[in-house]
Amino acid sequence: MTIETSRADIVRFKQAAQAGTIQFDPAAARRCADQYDKQAERLVYLQQRLESAAELGGFGGFVSAQQLQAGFNHKARDAAALLDHYIEAAYRMKEAFLISGGLLDEADAANAAALRALGSRTTR
């Protein structure tokens, strides 16, 4: 499964929720949304750790050591940037579940969080 496929699945779920095809009890929808919120928080924490790892030093003064350090730092930055997609997806799923439960104000807040996740990707 690719990021694009997952994104399309989330859009279909959200559209079905908006159309009323998929409906959840508000309490159940909120519990599902809370799970995606927790997932987003865990991913943000992991992303922060990866960003910190991208600044590690101590590889030594040899050119090969500096190249190795640069390679590891680059991989950590790439992984942190990739997590933006998963953070956004978690907020989008949270939003879709909230819509399916008729919790539109909370869904708007989840949408805003997803937009912030997208915005952080463009500012890096």
What percent of the chain stands above pLDDT 70? 95
User: Does 17 score more than 90 pLDDT?
Assistant: yes
Picking from 51-60, 77-86, 106-115, which range would have the lowest pLDDT averaged per residue?
Answer: 51-60
**pLDDT digits over 32-72, tens only?**
999 999 999 999 999 988 888 777 777 777 888 888 888 88
Mean pLDDT score, 94-112: 92
Confidence of residue 121 (pLDDT cuts 50, 70, 90): low
Confidence bin at 122 (pLDDT 50/70/90) = low
Dump pLDDT digits (tens) for 22-38.
Answer: 999 999 999 999 999 99
Determine the pLDDT at residue 55. 77
Q: What's phi and psi for 30, nearest 5 deg? A: -65, -40
For position 52, what pLDDT does the model report? Answer: 84
C-beta contacts of 46-54 below 8 A and 24+ residues apart: 46/83, 47/80, 47/83, 47/84, 47/87, 50/76, 50/77, 50/79, 50/80, 50/83, 51/76, 51/77, 51/80, 54/80
* Predicted local distance difference test score (pLDDT) of residue 22: 96
